[in-house]
A = this chain, B = another copy of it.
Amino acid sequence: MRATVMYGAGDVRVEHVPDAKLQLPTDAVVRVLRACICGSDLHPYHQMAPSREGTPMGHEFLGVVEELGASVSGLRKGDVVIAPFAYSDNTCEFCREGLHTSCRNGGFWASGGVGGAQAEAVRVPQAQGTLVKVAVGEDSALLPSLLTLSDVYGTGYHAAFKAGVTPRTTVTVIGDGAVGLMAVLSARQFGAERIILMGRHQRRTDLGREYGATDVVAERGPEGIARVLDLTRGDGTHVVIEAVGYPDAYDMAVGVVRPGGVISRVGVPQYDNAPVGFGSLFGPNITLTGGPAPARAYIERLLPGVLEGKVHPGKVFDRTVSLDEVPAGYRAMDKREALKVLVRP
């Protein structure tokens, strides 16, 4: 089959690899209907050291069950299923607590012998716990929105959920990428009436307004901080969702969070250390939360809104490519020509 492999920064190839096959009785093989390129895929695209073996790419997909291991129940061949960006047994105590990313039997796509999703097919470990069946056809117009449940919608939702957004909390979202926009949508769903979106790509911030942003701040750094403080009588917002992952975004979050407030991070941090002392987090009693979203925990919760057409998270996809065009998709996202690229193998 064909699959996407990254060999180093800027070096993405679509190649023939061994077919995805059942290895364990808990596995399934899923033919990929739709996958996509994630903002977090751009981190290795910028930084990965050259590698002979390369690494498979892609962690967001929905597809059709092709094969099922002997111990998988509740699924049938031909089912259309959503796969969250981590696999999990959905039964261990971490899963029961809603932290599927720390599942005792879980893991992540494109590592540890499991393939990536920017491919024709994927072996799915812990298939029974991981895959969520959806009653739509293989050509449903809802596929893009359903695909966001694999990662970006669940990730934006996680940010708002962990931050404790309510109708009484003001919110700043840092970053107008797909996750930032999904955080806007999610904060609105939690009832937030004031949502400030920090981003400078008007096509994206326009979609952010559609999702519920009440204010857009295009400035960054100290100017961006000053602008948000101006909008909030000098106090900042109760919640800041950091959907970027770079140190300057962290610093902006510290700059615009209200005393007693929460910074919720869902941008994968490209740094190890950051300010947490008296002058940043401690003195004003700021809470820092977030992490990789247990997307699996949120799929059932978010699915009805998508199926009923109440929300349209799939609008974050503004380009569709074939599998062969995946390298061009990376380039388009890297150059900010595309917000988020849908892959249709």
Contact = CB atoms under 8 A, between A and B. Distances in A.
A182 to B, nearest CB: 18
Contacts of A290: 282, 285
Interface string A281-305: 1111111111110100000000000
A94 interface: yes
A188 interface: no
Contacts of A162: 285, 287
Contacts of A287: 162, 287-289
A5 B10 CA distance: 62
A31 interface: no
Given A260-B97, A260-B99, A284 B278 contact: no
Contacts of A274: 273-274, 276-277
Number of contact residues on A: which range applies? 20 to 34
A222 interface: no
Contact of A276 (B97, B101, B276, B285): B276
A154 B122 CA distance: 54
Nearest to A294: B285
Contacts of A279: 272
A59 interface: no
A277 B290 CA distance: 11
Nearest to A269: B277
A290 B288 CA distance: 10
A224 B281 CA distance: 26
Contact of A272 (B102, B275, B288, B294): B275
Given A272-B277, A274-B274, 17 more contacts: A94-B259, A99-B260, A99-B285, A102-B260, A102-B284, A268-B278, A269-B282, A272-B278, A272-B280, A273-B273, A273-B276, A276-B288, A284-B291, A285-B289, A285-B290, A285-B294, A286-B291
Interface of A: 94, 97, 99, 101-102, 162, 259-260, 265, 268-269, 271-292, 294
30 contacts: A94-B260, A97-B260, A99-B259, A102-B284, A102-B285, A162-B285, A268-B278, A268-B282, A269-B276, A269-B277, A269-B282, A271-B277, A272-B277, A272-B279, A272-B280, A273-B275, A273-B276, A274-B274, A274-B277, A276-B288, A281-B291, A282-B290, A282-B292, A283-B291, A284-B291, A285-B289, A285-B292, A286-B291, A288-B288, A288-B289
